[in-house]
Structure 1
Amino acid sequence: MSAAPQAPLRLVVLGLSLSSSWGNGHATTYRALLKAFAGRGHDVLFLERDVPWYAAHRDLPEPGFCDLALYADLDGLAEYRGAIAAADAVIVGSYVPDGIAAGARVLDWARGVTAFYDIDTPVTLAALETGTCAYLAADQIRDYDLYLSFTGGPTLRRLERTYGAPAARALYCSVDPEAYPALDRPARYDLSYLGTYSPDRQPALERLLIEPARRAPELRFAVAGPQYPAGIDWPANVERIEHLPPDRHPDFYAASRYTLNVTRADMVRAGWSPSVRLFEAGACGTPVISDRWDGLETLLVPEREILLPEGPEAVLSTLRTQSEAERRRLGQAARTAILARHTAAARAADLEHVLAEARTRRGAGRPAASDLAIIGH
């Protein structure tokens, strides 16, 4: 959206994690986006709650492209009150521990633009409906100047009309092409999957990888990611990798003839919710097999840039019969599309643009929350 960087901004981000990619997809998203945003001349401070499960798996303790500060608890956040107040913009992310209370402090302290960045929008909305969301209160949405969402499409209008968000804008995940290059490696797997265990993703993983593996013992498969229950019946030809840090992702994808993208159930229902793995694998030039959801065709062209088989036999047909030339063509087409439209640099420009819009709205006098139309809430 923005061809040239604006005047330098001071941005503070309260996110789930930047230092550790263990068991979450937030860290790689923040790393790519904030590295590119800082590359446009902006100053970034990332505030991360110091929790033991990430402390034990820190793979980026010193980001280099931004300042990283760890705080022990809500009281510890007060140390950064001055930085929050002085910032041109402050972003609070989804799944931040004590996120409702942390967000209330940000909304009280900040003098610049405030934004909520939802990396889990359909999950958030489902939890808001049942009153179980631990990191965002429904009545806070109208108080943030901007709602940045991993989900686009109709969900954006819902956030504005039902919850009173002054402006809801899609800010999809992205990829840093320097961190996810196309590598030439011998094929080790016919089909791979990289992702933390999630119960609502497991049926699709079963249908599109585990069952094909059972039916084709001569083919090779891999599933990388933590937290899978011990009771899963893995076929002998499925290699399990407990955790794969980001710097090993490109080699993993390069060693895969095809890789699988699987989407959480809430995100399938909402549509327009691409996974970061979709862009990372595609940037590496590895052909992607995916489940189906509305809006996917607006990101990658089915059958030309991504494959959408309906079940195990269709997956096996691709693995067994698609020519090597066609496989390479598919991977290159996906890589070309992603490098053209879905890089971190593109998202950083988008972020710059929507923050500028929000600053303009603040200058013009945003309507008070009490004046906003709240429908069906």
Structure 2
Amino acid sequence: MSSHGLRIAFFGSSLVSAYWNGAATYYRGLIRALHARGHRVTFYEPDIHDRQKHRDLPTDPDWARVVVYSAEGTDGLERCLEEARGADVVVKASGVGVFDELLEARVLDLKSGRTQVVFWDVDAPATLERMAKNPNDPFRALVPRYDRVFTSGGGDPVVLAYKDFGARDCVPIYNAVDPDTHHPVAPHPRFDCDLAFLGNRLPDRERRVESFFLRAADLLPEKSFLLGGSGWADRPLAPNMRYVGHVYTQDHNALNCTARTVLNISRDGMARFGFSPTTRIFEAAGAGSCIITDKWQGIELFLEPGTECLVAEDGLEVAEAVLCLTDEGVRQLGQAARRRVLAEHTYAHRAARVEQVLGYSSGLEVSTHEQVA
């Protein structure tokens, strides 16, 4: 490995667009932090789902090189694979969106004495449940061949499940906050409401959105609710609920700083496995939001229920929290959440952990971010 930082080739869904791509915030935070620690990342992403037309990063970032390849045929992808040969670390993320099976097999051809190959699972519960249901899933035979598996969440249950499939090593690298991206800003009238929820409409999330968010709106007709994310346009909503469509990353701070409270709802699999904090939790905490989250095992590793966030079992408890919170309570919970994530849960912390697991030392300490209050 280079003494001047690692050269990392990263195959993922998209770095430049968060459109139908919830992993974008995670990729950006990690890769920016790795760059700050002296590593060089090339991010390879396919041109699919109109993401290049809905870019959050209009120009490529200065902290990563971005290569977009065509989804029409595999020639472009093969060129990317050949270019990645000889990197110190090659990463294949889950859910690239096209040629996933091909990529999962082909990146293993890049392994050598100098190149580690990592599978980075940003939706481990879904991957594990898929493999468990299908003994012929081609990825099952590949898991033991990767040098290691990183996951964006799941804790011990996911680690044990991956090791049961033969993984040599499995390490959660949790979502976190990038303090330079998510921070307090002035409120914006567009996002004024008593409770906001931001999330794309997905089959394994919709039932829980109904239970926690839509139910709370029904119970509190005098309060205002705001729904953001792609795919909800044809969903009937209560009169006290406003839908604002896809919210671009640059507007997340304004939403989080305007809404009186912000709701986090896990997807089905992540709630079952636990230990899977979403990117939204850290974005909201970084902005100093008062967070209400659905209940899942392990929340206290990230935020302390009752003092840094509120935890709800169902829509009734969400409604009770919205109704009972005082302005002072909202302020105190938001400030406490921000202090906690800046002290323990930044992407600089996560990047240092990645280095440690990869067996590399940059010699850099992780400093507590300034302006914690």
Find the aligned partners of 1:101 and 1:229 in 2 and give their Cα distance. Answer: 34
- With normalisation by structure 1, the TM-score equals 0.88
- Given the superposition, is the C-alpha separation of residues 28 and 6 from structure 1 closer, same or farther in structure 2, using an over 3 Å criterion? farther
Find the aligned partners of 2:78 and 2:205 in 1 and give their Cα distance. Answer: 38
Q: How does 1:1-377 map to 2 (within 5 A)?
A: 7-60=4-57, 61-72=59-70, 73-96=73-96, 97-111=98-112, 112-131=115-134, 137-150=139-152, 151-160=154-163, 162-185=164-187, 188-228=192-232, 230=234, 232-356=235-359
- Given the superposition, is the C-alpha separation of residues 132 and 201 from structure 1 closer, same or farther in structure 2, using an over 3 Å criterion? farther
Instruction: For residue 6 of structure 1, report the CA deviation from its aligned partner.
Output: 6.9
Decide whether the 8 Å contact of 1:16 with 1:95 is kept in 2. yes
- Given the superposition, is the C-alpha separation of residues 133 and 93 from structure 1 closer, same or farther in structure 2, using an over 3 Å criterion? farther
- Given the superposition, is the C-alpha separation of residues 215 and 157 from structure 1 closer, same or farther in structure 2, using an over 3 Å criterion? closer
Decide whether the 8 Å contact of 2:110 with 2:117 is kept in 1. no
Decide whether the 8 Å contact of 1:124 with 1:133 is kept in 2. no
Decide whether the 8 Å contact of 1:14 with 1:93 is kept in 2. yes
Pairwise CA RMSD? 2.1
What SS does the aligned partner of 1:234 have?
coil
- Given the superposition, is the C-alpha separation of residues 154 and 108 from structure 1 closer, same or farther in structure 2, using an over 3 Å criterion? same
Decide whether the 8 Å contact of 1:23 with 1:227 is kept in 2. no
1:14 counterpart letter in structure 2: F
Find the aligned partners of 1:357 and 1:181 in 2 and give their Cα distance. Answer: 30
Once the two structures are superposed, residues 41-93 of structure 1 have per-residue CA deviations (whole angstroms, 9 ceiling, x without a partner) of 11110001122421221222412211000111432122234432210001100
Unaligned runs of 5+ in 1: 359-377
Find the aligned partners of 1:6 and 1:143 in 2 and give their Cα distance. Answer: 26
Unaligned runs of 5+ in 2: 362-373
Decide whether the 8 Å contact of 2:215 with 2:316 is kept in 1. no
- Given the superposition, is the C-alpha separation of residues 155 and 312 from structure 1 closer, same or farther in structure 2, using an over 3 Å criterion? closer
Instruction: Decide which moves more: 125-134 or 275-284.
Output: 125-134
Once the two structures are superposed, residues 317-358 of structure 1 have per-residue CA deviations (whole angstroms, 9 ceiling, x without a partner) of 222222211111111111111111211111111111111179
Decide whether the 8 Å contact of 1:138 with 1:163 is kept in 2. yes
What SS does the aligned partner of 2:312 have?
coil
What SS does the aligned partner of 2:203 have?
coil
Decide whether the 8 Å contact of 1:87 with 1:110 is kept in 2. no
Find the aligned partners of 1:182 and 1:164 in 2 and give their Cα distance. Answer: 44
1:90 counterpart letter in structure 2: V
- Given the superposition, is the C-alpha separation of residues 226 and 303 from structure 1 closer, same or farther in structure 2, using an over 3 Å criterion? same
Decide whether the 8 Å contact of 1:153 with 1:295 is kept in 2. no
